Amino acid sequence: VNVAILGATGAVGKELLELLAERKFPLKNLKLLASTRSAGSKIIFQGQEIVVEAVADSSFDDVDILLASAGGSTSKAWAKKAVAAGAVVIDNSSAFRMDETVPLVVPEINPEAAGKHQGIIANPNCTTILMGVAIYPLHQIQPIKRVVVATYQSASGAGARAMEEAKIQARDILDGKQPLAEVLPYPIAFNLFPHNSPLNDQGYCEEELKMVNETRKIFNAPEIRVTATCVRVPILRAHSETVNLEFAQPFDVEQARELIAAAPGVKLVEDWQSNYFPMPIDATGQDPVLVGRIRQDISHPCGLELWLCGDQIRKGAALNAIQIAELLLEKNLLEVPDSAFSV
């Protein structure tokens, strides 16, 4: 199939390229698109030099799948034009996630939703994906009533420039210099702060509300009560989360451990003797979400606690998008419905 990547020079775009090669995605032609600022740069893919093009109205001719990872405003500007040209758009931004006509897909959880697309499929937020893959196996056995989650989000969530800024800040602090913050609002090296997305009147930031609303949509369970606290931490790559789950009845810890260990996209990491559990350094560059420290909540008879780490750029973004693309091919879902062209 013919594939285009919008945002090819960004951190997720580069990861998409790596995954297309690594997973031997059946490419006929690959087109790399970006802003005019990045146009003309060259990227080597499988030994072939590809020139990055500035995105334009004609960019989507003969494109079967557009992997969009260039931000919400860019997706809003170009996604529907790509659909009108006959492409299926897998969008990594927040632009369409809560649109009722757009499926929000995690292949390990709701692959059937992909078949309902009208030309656009949304990739969920990174923290939502990582948590969802970890807890859905339990939800299938006994529906989750309430989720309390705290996230520890790496610099990679703010892009390649934020990761580089974190390195520079660390060097400056170790050299006794004052760190400068330009990408993120405050220094991230040797520091942490609540997530910097805009706050609503209730004091919740956009990132936290994404976890609330997206989890309900992906699980097709609007009744689940979810509350989140999202924090930026001085980690380069891979997010971590502590998750407290409440069920209607007690959930056997050993059964929970067995279900998570057998679940797709998850790896159980528990060494209680050595107090060794998932860490960002181990999750970096890995496909599975690492889950461990599964235990009974001593404050609630129907509660479980768990800890997870997952690569934000990989499963939290690029890998999930590629898995959706693979699903479209496997299920023969590439055809864009005629109704989409009137959008």
Name, in order, each residue with C-beta under 8 angstroms of 22's C-beta and a sequence gap of 6 or more.
none
Residue 316 has what DSSP assignment? I
Distances (CA, A) of 135 to 18, 131, 197, 298: 28, 6, 25, 19
Nearest to 138 by CA among 340, 305, 26: 305
The residue to which tokens 């390649």 are assigned: 160
CA 164-166-167 angle, to 5 degrees, is 65
pLDDT of residue 340: 56
309 carries an active-site annotation: no
- C-alpha span between 272 and 306 (Å, rounded): 13
The single residue of 117, 126, 195, 230 carrying the catalytic annotation is 126
pLDDT of residue 336: 77
CB 76 within 8 A of CB 70: no
Task: Give pLDDT, residue 121.
Answer: 98
- Sign of the Cα torsion 69, 322, 316, 172 reads negative
* Nearest CA-CA partner of 256 in 142, 154, 124, 151: 142
Q: Give the three-state DSSP class for 23.
A: coil
pTM over the 0.85 mark: yes
Note the pLDDT of residue 343: 46
Residue 28 to residue 21: CA distance in whole angstroms: 13
Nearest one of 138, 109, 108 to 255, comparing CA atoms: 138
* pLDDT of amino acid 301: 98
The confidence score (pLDDT) of residue 338 equals 65
**pLDDT score recorded for residue 139:** 98
CA atoms within 13 A on the CB side of 242: 8
Q: In the chain, which ranges are E strands?
A: 2-6, 29-34, 42-45, 48-51, 53-54, 65-68, 88-91, 120-122, 144-153, 193-194, 225-232, 239-247, 266-268, 289-296, 303-310
Q: Which residues contact 230 (CB under 8 A, 6 or more apart)?
A: 127, 150, 151, 153, 194, 195, 197, 205, 207, 208, 211
The answer to whether 328 and 171 have CB atoms below 8 angstroms apart is no
pLDDT values of the chain reduced to their tens digit, one per residue, 343 residues:
999 999 999 989 999 999 999 999 999 999 999 988 889 999 999 999 999 999 999 999 999 999 999 989 999 999 999 999 999 999 999 999 999 999 999 999 999 999 999 999 999 999 999 999 999 999 999 999 999 999 999 999 998 899 999 999 999 999 999 999 999 999 999 999 999 999 999 999 999 999 999 999 999 999 999 999 999 999 999 999 999 999 999 999 999 999 999 999 999 999 999 999 999 999 999 999 999 999 999 999 999 999 999 999 999 999 999 999 999 999 999 987 666 544 4
- Of 117, 139, 195, 239, catalytic: 239
Active site residue 195: no
